[in-house]
Amino acid sequence: MTAGLFDLAGKTALVTGASSGFGRHFAQVLARSGARVAVTARSRARLEPAAAEFAGRGGEAVLLSMDVRDRASIAGAVQMAISELGQIDVLINNAGIAMSRDALDWTEHEWDEVLETNLSGAWFVAQAVARHMAARQQGSIINVASVLGVRGSGRAAPYVVSKHGLIGLTRALAVDMARHGVRVNALAPGYFVTEMTGDFLASRHGQAMLQRVPMRRFGELDDLDGPLLLLASTAGRYLTGAVVPVDGGHAMSG
């Protein structure tokens, strides 16, 4: 009865911020589970390595340029994805940026850049895709938040605000979209080893942070596969408005 519960064969997905890190990994996981995938980044050229990975596994990705801070760019990319895929069943709203500054040192430009990318960008992409999903009365939107959207942290004020806001957006959209057959949930990853974080997590400061993680290890990208597929597939058909921390217990630690 549970065979194929997490299977995405015949489904399609759009993944934003897919040139590296979580987004690139998510696209591969969805494809391995049977979905046809469109991947986006501000620069289409940055997606070429991901395309090569798909080709090496016998698949094919649709590569699209999208700047989530530009509504015209979003509209064009979403329409192109629909044209190429026929429909969008799953949206992984992953595009985002992070910076580290003392609270007194943030500039207005930096604040705006983080909020426009991580929160406003996620909202406008979700809205554009949700209109398409609502017309079809089905779909799953997965916003990629953060453990810092559940708890706080120093030296990251706009990032923390953006991720708290993204969780609020997830819950609000879940209520609005339920009558349209569209589920809206969020993943809240903790600290994961990626090409961007590897050096920091291996440093003295990173190892000190490790002591705050009850499971006493940082996340590996594969740790996100199960939660992602739960939210994307029919396995999670009665889940909406949920925030799933994948953080080794970090959000619960003192």
- How many beta carbons lie within 10 A of that of residue 180, not counting itself? 15
The H or E element spanning position 18 is none
Residue 119: is it exposed, middle or buried by C-beta count within 10 angstroms (0-12/13-18/19+)?
Answer: buried
CB contact at 8 A, 68 and 74 = yes
Instruction: Tell the residue number behind the tokens 């499971």, with chain if given.
Output: 215
Taking the C-alpha atoms of residue 33 and residue 23, their distance in angstroms, rounded to an integer, is 15
DSSP category for residue 252:
G
What residues are annotated to the active site?
A: 159
Closest CA to 142 of 98, 180, 192, 95: 95
